[in-house]
Chain A
């Protein structure tokens, strides 16, 4: 093809500079010699002729320079011309420009927003030095063939840390909350409780002071704290003297030994303080207590596989040494950056693919518009061609126009993306790490720019090549009659658009259906009208279990008196809060080796809990006020637990012992009742077997109040909080959260994915509709004469409308069918997203197809009406 050759020539000219220079030299030499010969023929001597020729020629270098400049001048000149020309064309057709820019801006904007999310969550390196060496080490448990990661126990951590050869350092931590007291009302302090080695592993140095020492790992020596920059500023105004002072955390004094820099974050979100872990002397016996997160830094040159092999060997030894505690546990090392986004990554990538399709649809759309316009501009192009414009020149001009559109759209898309990101930050789920830090930064801008340019080339090239391929004479002759080939190309683009839209809509439809299904699931209680309020009681004030029990009774009684409140209870850990507590247990009278002991979830609750939550009693009784300290220990059990652990026998009356758990009073007792199941881990997660212990009998010093009100739970929040605060200033009271929010929060990620995919599908639908409308209106305009003749020959308006719409719906139908086929192929992509819906759910696909069909009918009806209203006389006079 000629165009290819021309482009090739251009590239050769660009890269073959040296050859061009050589050619010019040779050409000039030939010129001089020709001149000499000419003058000699006129009778001059050779030397005289040569001298005169050189004089006429002037400076050879200056001449060459001038020739070289012509190249650049011409190129820049013609580029500016194209630019001016393009702008003129765009401003001459404001409606075309508007539609094209809007469509493209939507496409690129959606991509920009999606890319920003990917950038913030997946691509941006973790904010630590050599972050790709930081590895998360987890204990693993083989649950029905799938390895699940768990936190680790202190002895396992110490053995890994001390025996491995792959890590330069390793530390363990957990996150927690303290009440900062002694400065007015108790403030919540988000803390990381860590072993020594935390800062050296992260390669972060304190701004002031020092980090923890190994001695401070132990209880008694652990009352030191490193403050975040924020807390340092808030509590001490950034004074250097803060180091060495003490603060009251949970009413105990902690000496400040350091301050972290302002940009230090761990673990990724803001923490206010870092405190040594304070293991007691018994720590090495607690091999079954899994509650620590472990991070390590790989030695230079050690691969992840080597580290895993290393840890595996250590764990195999531990399994042999401690068969009862470590027998079934494994170990796994993952890059921290990978571990953080485990299940989120594939979801985001699927969404990125979806949004890429939206951009493709937008490009197809604009390609179509440009093609339509190129056909209308036949005459103009023919003229330019006839006036001598080269083909390359026309291609370049069309591309310049495309680029201008893309740049306008790129600018507009940043605005759209900005709005999208603001809402993503505000309404997005909280359990996607670093989602809140999403924003338009350099990387995103670079992405938007490349996306715009890629789009411009994509949608600009087809019409450009097409119009330049037409030869001038042919163009002039054919006048403005439509070209069949162009029509076919445009129909093909349209069918592709509809097909992709159908696919996206089907995907979104399936997600919506799955989500609706989940929404209608009950968490096992009625969340409406419930308010939750977490409370932490300082040990220093309530030295014994009796004092703690009295405190709970007092708080519950006081809250009961608030207007509108019908029932109050306390529980820990709160369902759907993300916290849980599981433990192995023994059933009296069953002799089972310790390593085969079953385990279940443990919940501590006050008597009124089940009534407040509306968890139904299945059998026996719930807790009563008499189930207090000193009385016989009792337990409740969930239906699932009863079925799992006491199949075919009566659970009630059985004695169960959970052993000492976390230093609280022993949790044992007789099962006195069976209650309904609760989806503690989210309505989309399976129920776990659960045991309930009376809160008072265990002396729990932290729990969450659940308050049922006749009014709006949110309105009760501050009064309830004030009341609790008023009872004891040093008690840490959390933010009041309506239970409904926890329930919907547990579906946060699903909702987020659904909203995004739904948004993309909506965009695709709009773009497809615009495309269909454009193609049909254009074809109607082209066939004005034909319509005129038909009407003149007696075709009714209805017949014309149905003819035009028939054409439109044939195209849409073809696209629909292809889209359905594509949607069927989504199976493997969507499977992970769907609960309770098949990937080929016929109802969803049917509804989706119907929606698309209705849109197609609407989009083609308007131009069809216009066709029917053609005045035959006017149409025939045309031309």
Chain B
């Protein structure tokens, strides 16, 4: 999957990771996931439905998350997503990868002219 594809201001791979991270805490329905991501990143970037739902579908097809229909507190039927075992493993390895990469990038960006 092309990693650098831009969707709504968020790098796709990043959005997938954020969703996995969010769902790692507890099962959530679509709107809740979007809301939680916005809350966590304090509005740095917005997550809209247009990028969120394709991402859900993608992750579902890869069997990293699965959806279950449940009744909401307002007595509507809503699809709650949760991580699968594979999704949990994936999240961990992705997170590791992300840390390594971002640390590497940070080091490069912060490098002084002497080091380069």
Q: Could you tell me if A472 and B89 are in contact, using CB atoms closer than 8 angstroms?
A: yes
Question: When chains A and B are docked, how far (Å) is the Cα of A30 from the Cα of B79?
Answer: 9
Closest-by-CB residue of B relative to A66 is B54
Given A24-B53, A30-B30, A472-B89, 10 other A-B contacts at CB below 8 A?
A: A26-B77, A34-B72, A56-B48, A56-B49, A70-B54, A70-B57, A388-B62, A390-B86, A393-B62, A393-B63
Q: Could you tell me if B79 and A27 are in contact, using CB atoms closer than 8 angstroms?
A: yes
Interface residue ranges, A against B (CB under 8 Å): 6, 23-24, 26-28, 30-31, 33-35, 37-38, 56-58, 62-63, 66-67, 69-71, 74-75, 77, 385-390, 392-393, 472
Question: When chains A and B are docked, how far (Å) is the Cα of A71 from the Cα of B58?
Answer: 7
Residues of A within 8 A of B41 (CB): none
Q: Could you tell me if B62 and A33 are in contact, using CB atoms closer than 8 angstroms?
A: no
Question: When chains A and B are docked, how far (Å) is the Cα of A27 from the Cα of B56?
Answer: 11
Greatest chain A CB density within 10 A among B48, B49, B64, B69 is at B49
Q: B78: CB under 8 A from chain A? A: yes
Q: Could you tell me if B58 and A74 are in contact, using CB atoms closer than 8 angstroms?
A: yes
Contact of A35 among B31, B58, B63, B64 (CB under 8 A): B31
Tell whether A30 pairs with B87 under 8 Å between CB atoms, given A67-B54, A71-B57.
Answer: no
Interface majority SS on B: helix, strand, loop or mixed?
A: helix
Residues of B within 8 A of A26 (CB): 77, 79
Q: Closest Cβ of chain B: how far from A82's Cβ, in Å?
A: 14
Q: Could you tell me if A387 and B35 are in contact, using CB atoms closer than 8 angstroms?
A: no
Residues of B within 8 A of A63 (CB): 49-50, 53
| Interface range on chain B (Cβ under 8 Å from partner) | 20 to 34
Contact string against A for B residues 78-90, beta-carbon threshold 8 Å, 1 for contact and 0 otherwise: 1100000011011
Q: Could you tell me if A70 and B61 are in contact, using CB atoms closer than 8 angstroms?
A: yes
Residues of A within 8 A of B77 (CB): 26, 30
Query: Count the A-B residue pairs with Cβ separation under 8 angstroms: how many?
Result: 90
Q: Could you tell me if B35 and A38 are in contact, using CB atoms closer than 8 angstroms?
A: yes
Question: When chains A and B are docked, how far (Å) is the Cα of A393 from the Cα of B32?
Answer: 29
Question: When chains A and B are docked, how far (Å) is the Cα of A6 from the Cα of B63?
Answer: 10
Q: Could you tell me if B57 and A34 are in contact, using CB atoms closer than 8 angstroms?
A: no
Greatest chain B CB density within 10 A among A35, A74, A386, A389 is at A74
Q: Closest Cβ of chain B: how far from A24's Cβ, in Å?
A: 8
Q: B93: CB under 8 A from chain A? A: yes
Question: When chains A and B are docked, how far (Å) is the Cα of A63 from the Cα of B90?
Answer: 27
Interface residue ranges, B against A (CB under 8 Å): 1, 29-32, 35, 48-50, 53-54, 56-58, 61-64, 69, 72, 74, 76-79, 86-87, 89-90, 93
Residues of A within 8 A of B90 (CB): 387-388
Q: Could you tell me if B89 and A74 are in contact, using CB atoms closer than 8 angstroms?
A: no
Contact of A23 among B63, B64, B79, B87 (CB under 8 A): B79
Q: Could you tell me if B50 and A58 are in contact, using CB atoms closer than 8 angstroms?
A: yes
Residues of A within 8 A of B35 (CB): 38
Question: When chains A and B are docked, how far (Å) is the Cα of A69 from the Cα of B74?
Answer: 31
Q: Closest Cβ of chain A: how far from B16's Cβ, in Å?
A: 11
Closest-by-CB residue of B relative to A472 is B89
Q: Closest Cβ of chain A: how far from B107's Cβ, in Å?
A: 25
Q: Could you tell me if B53 and A28 are in contact, using CB atoms closer than 8 angstroms?
A: yes
Residues of A within 8 A of B64 (CB): 388
Contact of B87 among A33, A57, A62, A388 (CB under 8 A): A388
Question: When chains A and B are docked, how far (Å) is the Cα of A62 from the Cα of B35?
Answer: 22
Question: When chains A and B are docked, how far (Å) is the Cα of A346 from the Cα of B86?
Answer: 55
9 nearest A-B pairs in the assembled complex, by CB-CB distance: A388-B90, A34-B31, A390-B63, A70-B57, A388-B86, A70-B54, A30-B78, A74-B61, A27-B79
Question: When chains A and B are docked, how far (Å) is the Cα of A75 from the Cα of B1?
Answer: 11
Question: When chains A and B are docked, how far (Å) is the Cα of A33 from the Cα of B87?
Answer: 28
Residues of A within 8 A of B63 (CB): 6, 390, 392-393
Closest-by-CB residue of B relative to A30 is B78
Q: Closest Cβ of chain A: how far from B76's Cβ, in Å?
A: 6
Residues of A within 8 A of B1 (CB): 74, 77
Question: When chains A and B are docked, how far (Å) is the Cα of A393 from the Cα of B64?
Answer: 12
Tell whether A387 pairs with B93 under 8 Å between CB atoms, given A38-B31, A56-B48.
Answer: yes
Residues of A within 8 A of B57 (CB): 67, 70-71, 74
Residues of A within 8 A of B62 (CB): 74, 388, 390, 393
Q: Could you tell me if B76 and A31 are in contact, using CB atoms closer than 8 angstroms?
A: no
Residues of B within 8 A of A66 (CB): 50, 53-54
Question: When chains A and B are docked, how far (Å) is the Cα of A77 from the Cα of B1?
Answer: 7
Give 8 A-B contacts (CB < 8 Å), ordered by A residue: A26-B79, A27-B53, A30-B77, A31-B31, A34-B29, A66-B54, A67-B56, A67-B57
Residues of A within 8 A of B78 (CB): 27, 30, 34
Closest-by-CB residue of B relative to A69 is B54
Question: When chains A and B are docked, how far (Å) is the Cα of A74 from the Cα of B30?
Answer: 20
Residues of A within 8 A of B72 (CB): 30, 34
Q: Closest Cβ of chain A: how far from B32's Cβ, in Å?
A: 7
Tell whether A31 pairs with B61 under 8 Å between CB atoms, given A38-B35, A390-B86.
Answer: no
